[in-house]
Amino acid sequence: MLRTLSSDALVSRCLRSLGYTSNIPTATDYAQRVSDCVNDALRHVWTYAHWPMLRRAELRTYRPPFTHELLFAKGQECWHKDAYWRAETDNPASEPSDDNTEWRKLKPDEVVRFIALDQPWENTEIALGGVNLRGFAYERDPKLFPHQPPIVGCSFAGDYPGSGTTRINLPSSAPDKVWVAFIPDAPRISLIPWSTETGYVYGDDVKHKGESWTCIASESSGDEPGASTAWRKVRIPEFLVPAAVAYFQSSMASEDQGRAHHAAVAQRLLEELHETYFGGQGVDDRADCDME
């Protein structure tokens, strides 16, 4: 089991490293700088390598599942009852079926098979750089069937990473649903309190009852974090915290305050972690990492 910390615990450690003994007010420019630097530190240590304990495996579809809450424009596609469907009109009034002329069931060769890194209907975003194409897609759960071969022929759309593409193409022979192995996007903390008066959308971050939360619903208004499925609690892997704190110190410090020293400490801690989990392997040699 991966040990984790709350966002408040991480922020407290970061602030103590600067000599603070209590949390700072949330509605200040300095608080925004603190949260920005904490998040920069998290992204830095998170993406330094494909840490094996951060890898996940999830079953995914290429299109969103049909729900009555979603509005589909003509030509948009969905997943429903083990098939892909295309809307033949704007805002179909009922669910896809063989006798519903508002929808057309797609043949297998009509489905363009790709996995977007930030599919809104999924709870977890895939990190840009959190994918190894040599071991990305599988027909069965790779945790339960670790010796199965991966699906070959996966590729980033366009020139990766220069174009900043956000999807991975799969071959036309891939099954209708695939298991994908990846590292999720780095966690983000927030010092902005959740408010009943504010409307939130997918990807918004708030603080509530000592925890950071990320909105995973298309929209949320009045849904309290912790009491609603619209929010996902942010937890920080404990093994990354020392390096993240050191990197945070370097971001907050001036040259006279030892910025270079703290940056060197953070780099040394990351190199030691890399040696622990990868031995003599290079940073890019990570196809055989076990999944948590």
Write down the pLDDT at residue 129: 83
Higher pLDDT, 212 or 1: 212
Locate tokens 């929010």: which residue?
231
Yes or no: say if 90 and 74 are a contact pair by the CB < 8 Å rule: yes
Q: Tens digits of per-residue pLDDT, 137-166?
A: 999 999 999 999 999 999 988 543 444 458
pLDDT at 17 over 60: yes
Q: Burial level of 233, CB count in 10 A (0-12/13-18/19+)? A: middle
Under 8 Å between Cβ of 170 and 178: yes
Q: How far apart are CA 186 and CA 203, in angstroms?
A: 12
In this prediction, residue 235 carries a pLDDT of: 94
